[in-house]
Amino acid sequence: MKYILNIPSLLYILIFYNILAFSGVDFTTVLFSTSLISEAVLTVTWEELFILLGVVALYIETIKSTRTSSSAIFEHTLSMVVFVVYLVEFLMVAQVGTTSFLILGMMQLLDVIGGFTITISAARRDFGGGLHH
C-alpha cells in the first residue's frame, strides 16, 4: 500500500487514457447529461471527465507534496518521468493528440514544479532552513 501512494495520480489517468485511446474510443462521446436547477443542461464527455479527474489528481499530488520523507524525492523523480511520457506521447502518438491530453500533460508539469517547490518549502519549515526574524 505504501508504494501505491508514491505513484503519481496522473500516471493512473495516463494509463486509462491510453487504454481508451488505443481501443478507438471517441473522446467526444457524451457519457451523460443532466438538467440543472437553472434549467441549463450539463453534458459530460470523456474529455471533460478526464479533465475533472486530472484536477482531482492534481489536488491529491499537491497534498502529497507537503511530505518531507525520503520517498518524496523518489515520487518527484517519478513525476518527472510521467511528465516526459505525457510530452513524448502528445508529440508523437496521433491517438492522444487531443486538447484534453495536452491539459492533462500541463497538469503533470504543474505537479512536477509544484511538488518540488512545496517540498522544499515544507522541508525549510520542518528543518529550520528558512530565515528567522
Q: Could you read off the pLDDT of 4-31 as tens digits, one per residue?
A: 567 899 999 999 999 999 999 999 999 9
| pLDDT-derived band at 74, boundaries 50, 70, 90 | confident
- Other CB atoms within 10 Å distance of the CB of residue 10: 26
> Residue 15 falls within a domain, yes or no?
yes
> Residue 132 falls within a domain, yes or no?
no
Q: E strand or H helix at 41, and its extent?
A: strand 41-45
Range of the structural domain that residue 47 is part of:
2-127
φ, ψ of residue 48 in degrees (nearest 5): -70, -35
Q: What is the pLDDT of residue 123?
A: 66
Q: What is the pLDDT of residue 3?
A: 57
Res 37 pLDDT > 90:
yes
> Residue 133 falls within a domain, yes or no?
no
Concatenating the DSSP letter of every residue in 86-129 gives HHHHHHH-GGG-SHHHHHHHHHHHHHHHHHHHHHHHHHHHHHT-
Query: Residue 104 corresponds to which amino acid?
Result: L
Q: What is the pLDDT of residue 71?
A: 73
Work out how many domains the chain is built from and give that number: 1
End-to-end CA distance of the chain: 41
φ, ψ of residue 17 in degrees (nearest 5): -60, -45
